[in-house]
Chain A
Amino acid sequence: MTSKHTTQDARPAHSGSTGGHSTPSSDRLASIKDHYDLIVIGSGLAGMTAANVMGRNGRSVLLLESHSNYGGLATWFKRRGGHIFDVSLHGFPVGMKKTCRKYWSQEIADDIVPLDGVRFVNPQFNLETSFTRDDFTRILVEELGQELEQVESFYTHLRRMDFYDDSGQTVGELFEQFFPGRNDVHRLLMEPISYANGSTLDDPAITYGIVFSNFMSKGVYTFRGGTDQLIARMRRELVSNGVDLRNHVTVDRIRLEPGAEVWAAKGVEVGERFIAADAVLSNANLKSTILDMLDPAALKPEFLEEVRAVRLNNSSCQVYFGLRDGATLPFVGDLIFTSTRETFDSPSLCDMHGESRTFSFYYPKTRPGSERYTVVASTNARYEDWAELDQVSYEREKQRMIDETLACLEGLVPGISADIEHAEAATPRTFKFYTRHLGGSSFGTKFEGLRPSMELHEEVPGLYHAGSVGIIMSGWLGAANYGVIQASKIDSYLHARALSATPTT
Chain B
Amino acid sequence: MNREEIIQAIKDIITTIAPDEDLSSLTEGERLRDQIELDSMDFLDIVMELRKRYGVQVPEDDYKELATLEGCANYLLPLMANATANA
Residues of A within 8 A of B (CB): 53, 57-58, 99, 102, 481, 484-485, 487-488, 491-492, 495-496
Contacts and interface: CB of A to CB of B under 8 A. Distances in A.
Nearest to B59: A492
Given A102-B45, A484-B44, A491-B48, 17 more contacts: A57-B48, A57-B52, A58-B52, A99-B41, A102-B17, A102-B41, A481-B41, A484-B41, A485-B41, A485-B44, A488-B47, A488-B48, A491-B51, A492-B57, A495-B51, A495-B55, A495-B57
B67 to A, nearest CB: 17
A89 B48 CA distance: 30
Of A57, A102, A496, chain B has the most CB atoms within 10 Å of the CB of A102
Closest 10 CB pairs of A and B: A488-B48, A488-B44, A57-B52, A495-B51, A481-B41, A492-B57, A491-B48, A495-B57, A491-B51, A485-B44
A492 B55 CA distance: 10
A219 B55 CA distance: 39
Contacts of B55: 495
Nearest to A57: B52
A53 B41 CA distance: 13
A491 B58 CA distance: 12
Nearest to B56: A495
25 contacts: A53-B48, A57-B48, A58-B52, A99-B41, A102-B17, A102-B41, A102-B45, A481-B41, A484-B41, A484-B44, A485-B41, A485-B44, A487-B48, A488-B44, A488-B47, A488-B48, A491-B48, A491-B51, A491-B52, A492-B51, A492-B57, A495-B51, A495-B55, A495-B57, A496-B57
Give the dominant DSSP class at A's interface: helix
Of B41, B47, B51, B55, chain A has the most CB atoms within 10 Å of the CB of B41
B55 to A, nearest CB: 7
A215 to B, nearest CB: 15
Contacts of A487: 48
A456 B43 CA distance: 23
B82 to A, nearest CB: 14
Nearest to A489: B60
Contacts of A485: 41, 44
Contacts of B57: 492, 495-496
A297 B47 CA distance: 35
A47 to B, nearest CB: 18
Nearest to A480: B41
A420 B47 CA distance: 52
A345 B80 CA distance: 56
Interface string B57-73: 10000000000000000
A488 B40 CA distance: 13
B44 to A, nearest CB: 5
A53 B49 CA distance: 11
A311 B55 CA distance: 40
Contacts of B47: 488
Contacts of B17: 102
A491 B51 CA distance: 9
A491 B48 CA distance: 8
A58 B48 CA distance: 12
Contacts of B41: 99, 102, 481, 484-485
Contacts of A495: 51, 55, 57
B36 to A, nearest CB: 13
Contacts of A492: 51, 57
B17 to A, nearest CB: 7
A58 B45 CA distance: 15
Contacts of A102: 17, 41, 45
A442 B47 CA distance: 32
A492 B57 CA distance: 7
